[in-house]
Each structure stands twice: as structure tokens, then as C-alpha cells.
Amino acid sequence: MTFDTLRGLLLPVALVVVPAGVLAETLDFDKAVELALNQNPDMAVSRAQIEQAEAAMRQAEGSGKPRINLSVTATHTNDALNAFGLKLSQRNATFNDFGAGEFTGPAALGVAPRNLNHPGAVSNLNPRVELLIPVYNGGMVKSYVEQAQAYVRAAQSGDLMARQQLIKHVLMAYQGVHTARAYIKVAEQGKVAAEEYVRITEKLHKQGMAVKSDVLTARVNLEEVKLKLLEAKNAEAAALDQLRLLLGKPLSEPVDVGAPVLPTLLAGSDADLRRQALDVHAGLRALRNQVQGAGAAVEAARAGFKPQFNVMLRGDVNDKDLGFGAASYTAAGVLSWAAFDGGVARAAVDRAEAQRSELAAKLRQAEEGVAYQVGDARRKAMEAEEKIVAREIAVEQAAEAQRLVQKRYESGLGTLIELLSAQAQLDRARADLVAARYDLAVSRAELKRAVGVLSAEQL
């Protein structure tokens, strides 16, 4: 990773000016991870998803339990049917309500009784308590509960995967600060060298051993190095801002990082690590639980083919006021079976099975993807190990080459172009070593994340 690449990964923000007298909070890596897991908005989303799944599970469990309904109905009506029925419910019906006074014998059978057809208005207050008991529903409630439990497990696995991803991002920002500071040190070394080249060139020019253009070239080189130093400082500020965002802190809050961290290399062959990933990877576990939930949804849909039996117990009181003289009860058992529903139940089963097949295909695809990610991450981690050795040797060789070229230039045996080229090569070698150390930390963390074992405690 080059210096420009690192800058591209970090947020392009300006330097944060810290007010005088305000001390930045210094966070070691463990503390930074702890704050991120507690305050990062993504983790709040993940926790909310778990809470939603748990609430859905309680809802499914509750649908299989008895239900008690309480109600009070106040009625005032002169509708013939309802008025007579309310009088019966109040146990106040009399023969006169049938129009008995108008019956004079068989000859009056065709007479419409006025009291029955045109009653006076009746008032009724009906408090009711009703108990509904689901006895058998074809396994629908049980399947819904199993589906909800699977989704809770999937949400918990998703939360673990989000935590591991966040830990990796915190490490990248945390180490990004140290990397940017290493680039600053490289740029400062280059600035010191560039200033020395200006001094040497001006001295040689006065002695007639260098031309004026060499002096100008040395000064231009110094300005370029100063620009690199500014860019490195901006990268440091960007890395700190990225860290603040991950920690859920305001961008204006002073923050600093503690000691750098370097994850250990996860041991094992490609085959071993892939087997481990297939067993413990949180994302795969989440998908497997979703497949289980889809299977439970299939069983819930199949319950539409089966009969249902429920029991209802009800107690009523009917009176014209808050009296309790006309109490009654009702007990009922209802057996229902949809003999024909136009294919609705069959379509529901087909739809649920198709959704399960879709998730099963996604699971197979994800398993293959994780296996590839593990192999790729392990190759990059091993490559990063080799790069460190190569970059350290390159710095030693570039430093020696620069020393020899500088001696030749000071003796008037070399050119300024050769000297600047040697210094550029040294600066580049130092920057490459800084980038290699950053890549080493990130690649080791990525390997652990790909396998599914990344945590702050076992970094």
C-alpha cells in the first residue's frame, strides 16, 4: 500500500484544530473497540434487529395461549327483534310482550300484536368476559414459534458478524493513525535531507562546482517534500476522524491512540481454516438459521390443510343498569376444516417452499464465498509476512546507496539528479515499509474475520 492509497482509504477531511488547553483522550485498542461496540450506530441497528426478532418470538408464543376478552356494550333500541331479545336476556319478557291482550281466540290469529311488532325502546348494559382457548391448529402456532426462534438466532449471529466487521474497521482506523504518523516521520526525514541538499548545492554553487539550475532544482525538491509532509499530516487527521466516527464520538472531540497493535497470524492450513470457517462463521450460521426458519414457515403453511379446534367460554350480564340479576354463560367448541379454499393453502405451501429453496441456494453460495475469502485472506497474510522482510532490506540498501551518492555529490563527482533520485528511492523504500507494516496488521485481522474468529480479546 502506497501513501496515496492510504490517503484514499481515509476520509478526505481537513485538519482538526484542538483548542488550547484541551487534552485529547488517549485510547488503547481494547478501549477503542469497547466504545465502538457500545456507541457505533451500526451496532444500535444490530441490537434493534435482535429486539425485533425476540418480540416476534414472544408474539408467536402468545398466539398459542388462552386469551381473555373483557367488554361492556350499552344498547338502547326499539328494533322489534333486538328489543324482544334484550328483554329475554334481561329475563324480563312477559306474555304481554307477545300481544297476549289482543288475542281473543282463533279468529284473532291473523292479528299482528302491537306490543311485539312495535315495542317501546329498551335499554341494556351488557358486561361480558370471554375466554378463548386454542386447542388444536394443525401445528401452525408451533411452527410460527420455531420460525421466530430461528430468526432470533439468525439476528444474534448477524450481530456477531457485525461486531467482527466493526472490530476490523476500528483496527484499520487505529493503525491508520500510526501509519500516517510513520509517513509524517518519513516526510520529516525527507525534509531534513532536502534542506541539507539546498545548503550543499548553494555552497557548491558559490564554489563554482554547481550551476544555478541545480540550486533551483534543490529548492523545488524541498517544496515538494514539504507538500508530502502536509499530506501526511492531513492523512493523520483523516484517520483520527475516521476513528471518531467508528467510536460514535463527535468530530470535534479530541482523541488520540495508544500503542500500536499487531494481530497474531492465525495458524492452520487452507483446508483447516476453511473447515473452521464453515463451522463457526457467524454469517453462515445466520443463513442456516434463516433456512431453518423458512422450513418452519413451510410447516405453518401446511397447517392450512388440517382442521382446527378451539373452545370458547363466555359469561354475560344483561340489565337496564349496572345490575347483576340476569347472568348467563355460554360454552362452545368449534371444529373447522377448510374443505375447499380455491387452492389458497396449496399456493401458500408452494410459496414457502420456494423461499426455503432460495435461502438454501444463498447458503451454498455463501459457503463457497467464505471458503474463497479464507484462502484469499490467508494468501495475502502470508504475502504480507514476506513483504516486511523485503521492505526492510530495501530500506537498508536505499539508505546505503543514498549515503554513497551524497558523498560523491559533495565531492563534485556526482550530479544533483543522481542525489535526488537516490533520496527519492530511500523515501519510497521507507514509505513502502510503513505501508507493509499496515498491510500486515490488516491482512492478519482480515484472515481472522474471514474465518469468523476475530475479537478484541484474541487479536
Residue scoring higher pLDDT (328 or 11): 328
**What's the confidence (pLDDT) of residue 418?**
85
Is residue 13 scored above 80 in pLDDT? no
Is residue 346 scored above 80 in pLDDT? yes
- Summarize pLDDT for 222-232 with one digit per residue, the tens: 999 899 999 99
**What's the confidence (pLDDT) of residue 456?**
86
SS3 content of the chain, % helix, strand, coil (to 5): 65, 10, 20
Which residues, other chains included, contact 369 with Cβ-Cβ below 8 Å and sequence gap of 6+? none
Residue scoring higher pLDDT (200 or 370): 370
Residue scoring higher pLDDT (446 or 197): 446
pLDDT exceeding 90 applies to what percent of the chain? 68
**What's the confidence (pLDDT) of residue 19?**
44
**What's the confidence (pLDDT) of residue 410?**
82
The architecture CATH gives domain 3-64+153-292+358-451: Up-down Bundle (1.20)
Q: Are 99 and 115 in contact (CB under 8 A)?
A: yes
Confidence of residue 22 (pLDDT cuts 50, 70, 90): low
Sequence ranges of the chain with CATH classification 1.20.1600.10: 3-64+153-292+358-451
CA angle 219, 221, 224 (to 5 degrees): 115
**What's the confidence (pLDDT) of residue 170?**
96
Is residue 6 scored above 90 in pLDDT? no
- Summarize pLDDT for 99-118 with one digit per residue, the tens: 887 777 777 777 788 888 88
Say if strands 308-317 and 327-336 run parallel, antiparallel, or are unpaired. Answer: antiparallel
Query: What mean pLDDT, rounded, does the chain reach?
Result: 89
Distances (CA, A) of 249 to 23, 158, 254, 302, 351: 15, 24, 9, 50, 46
Decide: helix, strand or coil at residue 411: coil
Residue scoring higher pLDDT (107 or 404): 404
Single pTM value for the model: 0.80
pLDDT exceeding 70 applies to what percent of the chain? 95
Confidence of residue 10 (pLDDT cuts 50, 70, 90): very low
**What's the confidence (pLDDT) of residue 17?**
37
DSSP secondary structure letter of residue 96: G
CA gap 80, 112 in Å, rounded: 13
Of 1-10, 194-203, 230-239, 337-346, give the lowest mean pLDDT range.
Answer: 1-10
Please give the average per-residue pLDDT across 34-46, as a whole number: 92
Is residue 265 scored above 70 in pLDDT? yes
Q: Are 126 and 75 in contact (CB under 8 A)?
A: yes
Is residue 15 scored above 90 in pLDDT? no
Please give the average per-residue pLDDT across 249-268, as a whole number: 92
CA gap 303, 142 in Å, rounded: 10
Q: How many Cα neighbours within 13 Å face the side chain of 458?
A: 9
- Summarize pLDDT for 125-175 with one digit per residue, the tens: 999 999 999 999 999 999 999 999 999 999 999 999 999 999 999 999 999
- Summarize pLDDT for 268-326 with one digit per residue, the tens: 999 999 999 999 999 999 999 999 999 999 999 999 999 999 999 999 999 988 777 78
Is residue 33 scored above 60 in pLDDT? yes
The residue type of 61 is E
Is residue 385 scored above 90 in pLDDT? yes
- Summarize pLDDT for 422-436 with one digit per residue, the tens: 888 988 898 899 999
**What's the confidence (pLDDT) of residue 62?**
93
**What's the confidence (pLDDT) of residue 125?**
93
CA gap 451, 67 in Å, rounded: 47
Please give the average per-residue pLDDT across 342-350, as a whole number: 94
**What's the confidence (pLDDT) of residue 423?**
85
**What's the confidence (pLDDT) of residue 163?**
95
Nearest to 455 by CA among 287, 285, 280: 280
Is residue 5 scored above 60 in pLDDT? no
Q: Are 259 and 183 in contact (CB under 8 A)?
A: no
